[in-house]
Chain A
Amino acid sequence: EVQLVESGGGLVQPGASLKLSCVASGFTFSDYWMSWVRQTPGKTMEWIGDIKYDGSYTNYAPSLKNRFTISRDNAKSTLYLQMSNVRSEDTATYYCTRAGTDYFDYWGQGVMVTVSS
């Protein structure tokens, strides 16, 4: 069974940094592109970016490219999202998803990030 389990969320102050993790199981992690997608409190879904199966290539939504960094550790079957200089509009539930940009076939349970002073 494919499982994606996110962690690392919580309350963070504006301007701070935060790193989310996603541990994958039930499939060969190093064979798949992985993505992060977030959902705002108003339920708007936004793709953040993705990373190639070997970690050699990343894509980002243009509006987030300069503040968010996606990485992975295939030995640990773990996907990461480094968020820097966070803003109130980054408040959302963050989902780790399998597959590349064409569709997202498995989603984690999500982790909430609240940006507030």
Chain B
Amino acid sequence: DVVMTQTPVSLSVSLGGQVSISCRSSQSLVHNNGNTYLSWYLQKPGQSPQLLIYKVSNRFSGISDRFSGSGSGTDFTLKISRVEPDDLGVYYCGQGTQYPTFGAGTKLELK
């Protein structure tokens, strides 16, 4: 299994601030076809997860440009700028290069 390790476990932020969430995989996520299948999801309280970012840095339809993804190989980062109340919840990274696995989540809360 590819183990996904997210840090930190929780994060406090002021509205309008910026945060970064780290995700590290136990193996390289570069697929044989050259793509890197690392994605980010947000689960708001009481809701299903929603896709934010796919293939490391591609924003899904309708996702604000305040969300950006970066990284390569085994180290990846989600950055959220100008944090808004609707951004609060638990963020998960996931990989699809091998059979899919997810990180344990990072809870974003208001300071």
B49 touching A107, Cβ below 8 Å: yes
B59 CB, nearest partner CB in chain A, Å? 12
| Chain A, Cβ-Cβ closest to B31 | A102
A7 at interface (Cβ–Cβ under 8 A)? no
Interface size class of A (residues with CB under 8 A): 20 to 34
Q: Which residues of A contact B41 (CB under 8 A)?
A: 104
Q: Which residues of B contact A37 (CB under 8 A)?
A: 100
| Chain B, Cβ-Cβ closest to A43 | B105
A29 at interface (Cβ–Cβ under 8 A)? no
Task: Give the complex CA separation of A109 and B105 in angstroms.
Answer: 19
B48 touching A108, Cβ below 8 Å: yes
| Chain A, Cβ-Cβ closest to B37 | A102
> Of A62, A101, A109, A110, which is within 8 A of B96 by CB?
A101
Q: Which residues of B contact A43 (CB under 8 A)?
A: 90, 104-105
B102 touching A110, Cβ below 8 Å: no
Given contacts A45-B49, A45-B94, A47-B99, contact A102 B104 (CB under 8 A): no
A117 at interface (Cβ–Cβ under 8 A)? no
| Chain B, Cβ-Cβ closest to A62 | B99
A96 CB, nearest partner CB in chain B, Å? 10
Task: Give the complex CA separation of A103 and B90 in angstroms.
Answer: 17
B104 touching A101, Cβ below 8 Å: no
Q: Which residues of A contact B49 (CB under 8 A)?
A: 45, 95, 104, 107
A45 touching B55, Cβ below 8 Å: no
B90 CB, nearest partner CB in chain A, Å? 7
> Of A45, A61, A103, A107, which is within 8 A of B37 by CB?
A103
A56 at interface (Cβ–Cβ under 8 A)? no
Task: Give the complex CA separation of A79 and B49 in angstroms.
Answer: 19
Beyond A101-B100, A106-B51, 8 additional pairs, beta carbon < 8 A? A101-B96, A102-B35, A102-B97, A103-B37, A105-B51, A105-B54, A107-B50, A109-B48
> Of A45, A101, A108, which is within 8 A of B92 by CB?
A45
14 interchain pairs (CB within 8 A)? A43-B90, A43-B105, A46-B102, A47-B99, A47-B102, A62-B99, A101-B96, A102-B37, A102-B54, A103-B94, A104-B51, A105-B60, A107-B49, A108-B48
